[in-house]
A = this chain, B = another copy of it.
Amino acid sequence: MPAEITEVPQGTVTSPQGFLAGATYAGIRTYSEDKVDFGMLMSEKSSMAAGMFTTNLIRSPSVVVTEEHIANGTAQVIVINSGIANACVGEQGYKDAKECTAMAAEHLGIPQEDVLFCSTGLIGVELPMGLLKGAIPKVNLAPDGGHPLARAILTTDLRPKEYAVSFPHDGRTVTIGGITKGSGMIHPNMATTLTFLTTDAAVEPAFFKEVLRETVDSTLNMVSVDGDMSTNDSVIILANGAAGGEVISWDSDGAETYQRALMQVCAHLSREIARDGEGATKVITVIVEGARTLVDARKAAKAVATSSLVKTAVTGNDPNWGRILASVGASGAEVVEEKIALYINDVCIMEDGRPVPFFKDAVVAIMREQDVSFRISLGLGDASAQAWGCDLTNEYVTINSAYTT
């Protein structure tokens, strides 16, 4: 019988044992009450670490330094600032990122190579190093510090996004937690946005990395807010083994539960990114099933979740299935028109590639819900995939035409 996975109430990135976090206001972003823009996540002891990073060829030096430091598979601290992306600033960006890790390492008394550094915010502005230096000692690292850290990493996000689950393993309780930020410039390839995951599981290195990649490909890489890929996208996971018990590897009993638990955390955070997309009022979940291959299923699901015409139809509560079909057909996935079926929140809209008579008012009413799902059955094979998106509203246009360089 598979082990039961349970949600941790108010779960966050410090829910797993042996992790501390904290945040402060460094002064990078415009001041407001309760505003925090700088923080740190720390494992009490050095942890295994793995990451996936933006495939954008224009990338922040913060990503470059983090990739260098994570290459040996271990890390203990992640330093994070919001407000400035530390991207497109020439050589200074690398020097600044390196110096941030040095300052944090010195303050905490750990090796510089065990410190990672992530930035998010405006492109083309240098980091205010004096402010960051002053902020490091102000961060109060605490066992419940995941909550302020989840707020510190936000930019135009409206809500912190945090989650954790636990499951029994070898007589112990293992926990996986995470926080993420999203909002705009969200359309990942290999890794999305800033996401920090932690676990107190003891895991075998190859298993640890492979499960991260598989999970991210199925979850965070399947979210799209606006089709734009950031220069700073990063997903990082730390595993400190504090829960003890048998080391989890591909061969061990806990492997399947660990995978399901990580999937649950990442899927939850992905949906929350879509829900909090810039200007979004609804989450769109696109399920493609019956595809010939997994690649086809993902292409089709992502194409629908990304289509501006589908997104605006959702804004208008309009079951405009023609737009859905057009984006599936253009997605690059193998499709045969006569085999396609489409369901909107489980109401069958089309079968065998033709619309079925449906009561439009009822479907419009369904689409007024905050969660709209499109299930598309291709009828060609066994592969399936999910993607998450959000509606495209006037508010998105307003936010992004008013955002300043």
A51 at the B interface (CB under 8 A) = no
CB-CB under 8 A for A330 and B55, given A318-B403, A323-B228? yes
Partner of A325, one of B123, B329, B334: B123
Q: Would A123 and B322 be within 8 Å (CB), given that A397-B397, A401-B313 are in contact?
A: yes
- Using Cβ atoms and an 8 Å threshold, which residues of chain B touch A336? 57
Please give, as numbers and ranges, the residues of chain B lying within 8 Å of A226 by CB-CB distance. 308-309
Q: A88-B353, A398-B394 are in contact. Are A185 and B309 (CB under 8 A)?
A: yes
Chain A, 325-357, CB within 8 A of any chain B CB: 325-330, 334-338, 350, 352-355
Instruction: Tell whether A379 is near chain B: CB-to-CB under 8 Å.
Output: no
A285 at the interface (CB under 8 A from B): no
Residues in B neighbouring A45, C-beta threshold 8 A: none
A203 to B58, CA, bound (A): 46
Measured CB to CB, the closest approach of chain B to A85, in angstroms, equals 8
In the complex, which residue of chain B has the Cβ closest to the Cβ of A90? Answer: B354
Q: Do residues A330 and B228 form an inter-chain contact, with CB atoms below 8 A?
A: yes
Kindly report how many copies of this chain are found in the complex they form together: 2
1/0 per residue A265-298: CB within 8 Å of B?
0000000000000000000000000000000000
With a cutoff of 8 Å between Cβ atoms, the chain B residues found around residue A360 in the complex are 405
Proximity bits, A170-204, B CB within 8 Å = 1, else 0: 00000000000000110001000000000000000
A230 to chain B: closest residue by CB: B326
Q: Is the CB of B337 within 8 A of A57?
A: yes
Do the beta carbons of A315 and B56 come within 8 Å of each other? no
- Cβ-defined contact, B56 with A320, below 8 A: no
**For residues 347 through 405 of chain A, which have their beta carbon under 8 Å from a beta carbon of chain B?**
350, 352-355, 360, 392-394, 396-398, 400-405
CB distance from A341 to the nearest CB of B (A): 13
Find out whether the CB atom of A405 lies under 8 angstroms from the CB atom of B326.
no
A229, CB-defined interface residue at 8 Å: yes
Report A217-231 CB contacts with B as 1/0, cut-off 8 Å.
000000000111111
Shortest distance in angstroms between A339's beta carbon and chain B's nearest beta carbon? 11
Q: How far is the CA of A350 from the CA of B89 in the complex (A)?
A: 11
Q: Do A308 and B227 touch across chains, with their CB atoms under 8 A apart?
A: yes
Contact residues on A (Cβ < 8 Å of other chain), bracket: 35 or more
Residue pair B307, A404 in contact (C-beta under 8 Å): no
A316 contacts B87, C-beta separation under 8 Å: no
Q: A320 contacts which of B227, B230, B308, B403 (Cβ < 8 Å)?
A: B403
Assess whether A321 is interfacial by the CB under 8 Å rule.
yes
The chain B residue with its CB closest to the CB of A330 is: B229
Q: Within the assembled complex, what's the spacing in Å between the Cα atoms of A371 and B19?
A: 54
> Which residues does chain B contribute within 8 Å of A58, judged by CB atoms?
325-326, 328-330, 335, 337
Is A312 part of the binding interface, using a Cβ–Cβ cutoff of 8 Å? yes
In the complex, which residues of chain B have a beta carbon less than 8 angstroms from the beta carbon of A398?
A: 394
A40: min CB distance to chain B, Å: 26
| Contact indicator B184/A309 (Cβ below 8 Å) | yes
Q: Is the CB of A400 within 8 A of B228?
A: no
* Residue A59 is within 8 A (CB to CB) of chain B in the complex: yes
Chain B residues lying within 8 Å of A326, measured Cβ to Cβ, are 56, 58, 87, 123, 185, 228-231
Most B CB within 10 A of own CB, among A123, A228, A230, A405? A405
Interface presence of A124 (CB below 8 A):
yes
The answer to whether B322 and A405 touch across the interface, beta carbons within 8 angstroms, is yes
Q: A-side interface residues toward B, CB under 8 Å?
A: 55-59, 85, 87-90, 122-124, 184-185, 189, 226-231, 306-309, 312-313, 315-316, 318-323, 325-330, 334-338, 350, 352-355, 360, 392-394, 396-398, 400-405
